[in-house]
Chains A and B, each alone.
Chain A
């Protein structure tokens, strides 16, 4: 009888605890809803954030830039650099109870690499020609050429391991629900509004101490901030700079400021006059005060650029950037044959990057000071992307604002696609049509060289040349401004623009 009473009492306590725990769902308000839950098909940060809670990669890029094994335990590279052998954890289980094997991992990479699937980020691993199972928990990648950034690329969230049998079973509907290996399981998805994830109690690593995570889709900035102010959400991403001071002053809310790997710049079209002249490009760089813009347009929340890539990326070296010097800018313009200034058009997206159009307007007025009469052209994003990637000869965009997130944390990803001659649009992403044989040679060499120190030196030299050539109007590297309720501890705001609640506790 006594024992029964004790049992009942403990049950009551247990129930109470469960009820208490049920309240511990961390609510994260993002700007848009997830597009898909298929990790291989992710192209945007809000989706990557959601998916990263359910699916995992072989290696993990830590916020400090270190790469550590995650679903893998270690790796070995053959002497010629073309065969990578990777050992896998043997204690990993998918949410439906299926243990992770080398066979499954191979199936996942085969799916990612299948050209018919046309995944956007397939190019990250496209040097892999074969994936082989060499043990129950060991796989082997064979590469067409040595490829130094491979490890960094294996940390990218799109290379996460999926369960091929589940993919086959779901067919076209695969992206609507999820079965991964991560610390959270798929719960429900109310399209356009909310996604609920539940804690995976059988997680191989540290089981999260909260009961679940919910992601809200709230496009209006004002509304998203109001949600965190009213306590309806614990976390709100993309805080507008003008709200930082106000939110910090509010009770129980702190705005976290974490640097991002995204660089914001304006490129000059090297196929169009007058941007063929390096003096004109340098003049623009001297005419624009990117420190003032960083301070007043972006509330001091960003870092003015001193190189084409951001700190925190492997291969970054500060190479100086350009001093704000309107006098020098006028001199350079005069030398280039424009003593009375010139006219041009600045293309800008609106609402794509933090304060993008505000930045462009500020640049317009600063350029006017040195006699550059710039008109602003804004397009909606799809037309913008289309227009800026027209081939040389048809491309009539002279100057345009863009951002580039080096999400792998390796300079190759940040420089090769943007500055290598082979990458001129529409083949790659070199929208400036920048071409310098020296830079090409350095980038090619850094790709195949596997010695980290030598790579770093190669990138430093390339950054130096790029800086002097001024193919861009260098602006700043972005930061992620995230409003967090003070009761939430352990939230990771990752430089790859993901918010991770893996180890969160709530007071």
Chain B
């Protein structure tokens, strides 16, 4: 298992390096110049030149890349051109917020999605199944920012049940987590349904059912346990997707997460922060995938890593 983990990490390294190279080049190819932006509407050419010098933007691309990589090797992602803060500090402050949000969303998704999927599978091809499927598909079809705005208007402004924005207490996280979790809920419900159906179709379950040996509840329990394996996989993948996909939710709810940090930094042409955030997201995505595979093995002992 250790060897497997190491091999997976080794395979992931070129991908991560590729992400770095691509992002490094892309932010610099984009129109717009961080020095011009920092200097603002007011600046003269001399000030802009000095700002360029201050952040090393006057050097050639290969030189900048070499400097970036050698700093990275020492765990230094540089300083934000906008706030002059260490990028690592910024990420350390924003990343847990995103994790908190993604975690909340995945809980929402599992708590609602799994029972909905089970219901749908058990009542297969009835109106209940169709209704659950329809609601699930409606969930994935909803633009998150629209859902979020309506939720704020209704639950926070009209009813006053939850705070409008910000983070800190439990009640702050409720609406953003639900908003972010809607589409994952739908995906998990669909996944649970199809993997339940597969288990229910297996011969031994059919036989047990036909003979009436086991009660209905027992069958569902049994089937669910087996059906959960692929659900865990999807749940893990969703978690990775949520961490990155939280951009829109974070914008609507003024949630200080990595997604919003990334978008703001792209707009501000804050190269070091963009690079750092992208690196973090790519790495965490890969780590989550790896963890999912390892957990998969723990749940289902038939899978071996060799």
Query: Interface residue count for A (Cβ, 8 Å)?
Result: 53
* B165–A223 touching, CB < 8 Å: yes
If A118-B54, A226-B164 touch, does A172 touch B47 (CB 8 Å cutoff)? no
B166: CB under 8 A from chain A? Answer: yes
* B37–A118 touching, CB < 8 Å: no
* A191–B93 touching, CB < 8 Å: yes
If A218-B165, A222-B149, A223-B254 touch, does A116 touch B79 (CB 8 Å cutoff)? no
A193 to B32, CA, bound (A): 27
Q: What chain B residues lie within 8 Å of A232 (beta carbons)? A: 163-164
* B157–A217 touching, CB < 8 Å: no
* B163–A383 touching, CB < 8 Å: no
* B40–A120 touching, CB < 8 Å: yes
Encode contact with B along A302-322: 1 for CB under 8 Å, 0 otherwise: 000000000000000000000
A218 to B253, CA, bound (A): 9
Q: What chain A residues lie within 8 Å of B267 (beta carbons)? A: 380-382
Instruction: For residue A29, give the distance in angstroms from its CB to the closest CB of chain B.
Output: 9
Q: What chain A residues lie within 8 Å of B47 (beta carbons)? A: 118-120, 122-123
B126: CB under 8 A from chain A? Answer: no
A227: CB under 8 A from chain B? Answer: yes
* A172–B36 touching, CB < 8 Å: no
Interface range for B: 35 or more
* B37–A227 touching, CB < 8 Å: no
User: A37 — nearest CB in chain B belongs to which residue?
Assistant: B83
If A120-B38, A381-B37 touch, does A227 touch B164 (CB 8 Å cutoff)? yes
A43 to B83, CA, bound (A): 11
Instruction: Tell me the B272-289 residues at the A interface (CB within 8 Å).
Output: none
Encode contact with B along A388-406: 1 for CB under 8 Å, 0 otherwise: 0100000000000011100
* A385–B38 touching, CB < 8 Å: no
* A193–B42 touching, CB < 8 Å: no
A229: CB under 8 A from chain B? Answer: yes
Q: What chain B residues lie within 8 Å of A175 (beta carbons)? A: 83-85
Q: What chain A residues lie within 8 Å of B84 (beta carbons)? A: 36, 38, 41, 172, 175
User: A216 — nearest CB in chain B belongs to which residue?
Assistant: B166
Encode contact with B along A208-235: 1 for CB under 8 Å, 0 otherwise: 0000000011111011001101101000
Q: What chain A residues lie within 8 Å of B254 (beta carbons)? A: 193, 217-220, 223
Instruction: Tell me the A411-462 residues at the B interface (CB within 8 Å).
Output: 417, 423, 426-429
Interface set of A (CB-CB < 8 Å, partner B) = 35-36, 38, 41, 43-44, 115-123, 172-173, 175-176, 190-194, 216-220, 222-223, 226-227, 229-230, 232, 380-383, 385-387, 389, 402-404, 417, 423, 426-429
Interface set of B (CB-CB < 8 Å, partner A) = 30-34, 36-45, 47-48, 50-51, 53-54, 79, 82-85, 90, 93-94, 149, 152-153, 156-157, 160, 163-167, 251-254, 256, 260-261, 267-269
User: Can you give 25 contacting A-B residue pairs, CB < 8 Å?
Assistant: A35-B82, A36-B83, A38-B84, A43-B38, A43-B39, A115-B50, A120-B38, A172-B79, A173-B85, A176-B85, A192-B256, A193-B256, A217-B254, A218-B165, A218-B166, A218-B254, A220-B165, A220-B252, A380-B267, A382-B31, A382-B32, A382-B33, A385-B40, A387-B31, A426-B48
Known: A35-B83, A220-B165, A230-B163. 8 other contacts (CB 8 A): A117-B54, A118-B51, A119-B47, A217-B254, A218-B165, A230-B164, A383-B30, A386-B31
A-B pairs, 10 with minimum CB distance: A192-B256, A382-B32, A118-B50, A226-B164, A383-B32, A383-B31, A382-B37, A223-B165, A118-B51, A43-B40
